[in-house]
Amino acid sequence: MDAGVRAYLARIGRRGGRKSRRVLDPATAQAMVKVREARRAYRRFHTECFWSCDPAYRIGSADVPWVALQLKRYGGRAAWDVAAKLCH
């Protein structure tokens, strides 16, 4: 690799590393994971549990309990397992 290219990549890598490092408290990080998992479950089980809802609906942190309830109410065993993870 050329020395100029190597220096450029090192320079932009350092800048990105400084900007992207953020410190989250454990509760915030756990809430972010739950929202991500609820969004994934909404897409995965849309035809089974959320068929009457807009497929493009964006799940937020306030929607996580609703997603878990719908999964438990209308889903099968796989949906129930995902809902159990969302509740804890």
The model's pLDDT over 7-48, given as tens digits with 9 standing for 90+, comes to 888 887 766 655 556 678 889 989 999 999 999 999 999 999
pTM: 0.73
Q: In this structure, what token pair is assigned to residue 69?
A: 């309830």
Average pLDDT, the chain: 90
Is 63 within 8 Å of 38 (Cβ atoms)?
yes
- Counting residues of the chain whose pLDDT is more than 90, the rounded percentage is 65
Q: Give the residue extent of every domain in the chain.
A: 26-87
> 46 and 71 in contact (C-beta within 8 Å)?
no
pLDDT digits (tens, 9 = 90+) for 53-86: 999 999 999 999 999 999 999 999 999 999 999 9
Distance (Å, whole) CA 36 – CA 64? 9
